[in-house]
Amino acid sequence: MAKNAVKAAPLVVAVAYDRLCTFEFGCVVEMFALQRPELGVPWYRFAVCSAERGRLRAAGGITVSAPYSLTILERADTIIVPGWRDADEPPPADLVRRIRAAYDRGARICSICSGVFVLAAAGILDGKTVTTHWRYTQRLQQRYPSLRIESNALYVDEGQVMTSAGSAAGLDMLVHLVRRDHGPRVANMVAQRLVIPPHRDGDQAQFVPRPVAPEDEGRLSRLLDWVRQHLDVPHSIASLSKRASMSPRTLLRHFRDVTGLAPGEWLLRERVALARDMLESGRIPIGQVANRAGFGSAESFRRHFRLQVGASPAAYRQRFLQR
């Protein structure tokens, strides 16, 4: 590169295909195709390539004409497969071959929902931890037994490969991708513009249909909102059931039905999520973070944070301060 030459922004390429999953594709376009000068960082270049020739049908009765062929994958820094039309239909051989080649040269490869089947067919997921929509996890495991499947994860980051659960979880993954590339300030600004949380902790088990009486669900929803505003104080089954006007037994049953977690597990995740926000800001001492998030002691904070995040609070903060 010539002296003083400006490095080109990373190229993100979305793969379009016949019977395109419109929502997943739209998420990628919304995230990377729009210019975002207000962020103050070199935003991504964006392109769409077609896995097949001719106009492509898409969900909702529309057609898509992609401007690029699969050859652009040779130049892509990040490739995103926004779903796949049929988990039981093998993807085109040329698409599989080019994704494998891009992976081998170091490109980052991402999938949303059923798009994981394309990545698996390319052989780039062997031995890795991945996720997909809960409807597809059993089928994916049977077809590719070498994969470690996090059936409840909203998304999984394996470094060079990212996979997400169904549809809207793709937005969680894409915001995380921006966070990795540009840090929490930029990711938070993008999330704010999209009117979504900067990071949504939880798991997709909470979205599996379960019958809960509407009045109980409403009371529990109000309880969860209240607890999120009062994470700094102790909570017990007795105090939570009293506030929700439920018996402890009813609370425990409905809590797991609605969230997919026991109250203690859910409370820890919410506290860790709050701690992450405070650590990323860089303004609050770690000891105060532990107190404000309701961990009671620095030792408890460090232990639970490391278990959920995979890093100590200090190391996590340093990672973001270095961006």
Per residue, the 3-state secondary structure of the chain, as one string, reads CCCCCCCCCCEEEEEECCCECHHHHHHHHHHHCCCCHHHCCCCCEEEEEECCCCCEEECCCEEECCCECHHHHHCCCEEEEECCCCCCCCCCHHHHHHHHHHHHCCCEEEEEHHHHHHHHHCCCCCCCEECCCCCCHHHHHHHCCCCEECCCCCEEECCCEEEECCCCHHHHHHHHHHHHHHCHHHHHHHHHHHCCCCCCCCCHHHHCCCCCCHHHHHHHHHHHHHHHCCCCCCCCHHHHHHHHCCCHHHHHHHHHHHHCCCHHHHHHHHHHHHHHHHHHHCCCCHHHHHHHCCCCCHHHHHHHHHHHHCCCHHHHHHHHHCC
> Per residue in 10-31, is it b (16+ CB within 10 Å) or e — as a string?
bbbbbbbbbebbbbbbbbbeeb
| For the ranges 120-124, 145-149, 300-304, the one whose mean pLDDT is highest | 120-124
First-residue to last-residue Cα distance in the chain? 24
* Residue type (1 letter), 267: L
Q: How far is CA 27 from the centre of its chain?
A: 12
Domains in the chain (CATH in brackets) are 11-194 (3.40.50.880), 209-260 (1.10.10), 265-321 (1.10.10.60)
- How much is the pLDDT for 25? 95
26 pLDDT higher than 90? yes
Both tokens assigned to 249: 């037994």
> What is the per-residue pLDDT for 248?
92
* pLDDT at residue 210 tops 50: no
The pLDDT score that the predictor gives to residue 209 is: 40
Q: Mean pLDDT across the stretch 240-269?
A: 86
Task: Output the CA angle 111-308-155, nearest 5 degrees.
Answer: 10
Question: Average of pLDDT values for 16-42?
Answer: 93
Asked whether residue 213 carries a pLDDT value surpassing 90, the answer given is: no
Instruction: Render pLDDT for 65-91 as a digit per residue (tens, 0 to 9).
Output: 999 999 999 999 999 999 999 999 999
The Cα–Cα gap between 108 and 322 comes to 22
Q: How many CA atoms lie within 13 A of 217 on its CB side?
A: 10
How many CA atoms does the CB half-sphere of 167 hold within 13 Å? 6
Categorize the per-residue pLDDT at 188 as very low, low, confident or very high, splitting at 50, 70 and 90.
confident
| pLDDT, position 322 | 56
Mean pLDDT across the stretch 303-322?
81
Q: Report the pLDDT value the prediction gives residue 189, as an integer from 0 to 100.
A: 86
Least confident residue range of 13-27, 58-72, 171-185:
171-185
Residue 278 has pLDDT above 60, yes or no: yes
Q: Is the pLDDT of residue 56 over 90?
A: yes
Q: Given this model, what pLDDT does residue 186 score?
A: 86
Q: Is the pLDDT of residue 212 over 50?
A: no
- Does residue 147 carry a pLDDT above 90? yes
Minimum mean pLDDT range among 57-61, 68-72, 176-180, 204-208 = 204-208
Whole-angstrom Cα distance, residue 256 to residue 205?
Answer: 10
| pLDDT tens digit sequence for 256-275 | 777 777 899 889 988 988 89
For 35-49, 133-147, 194-208, 265-279, which range has the lowest pLDDT when averaged over its residues? 194-208
pLDDT given at position 6 = 54
Provide the pLDDT for residue 72.
Answer: 98
Question: Whole-angstrom Cα distance, residue 247 to residue 13?
Answer: 52
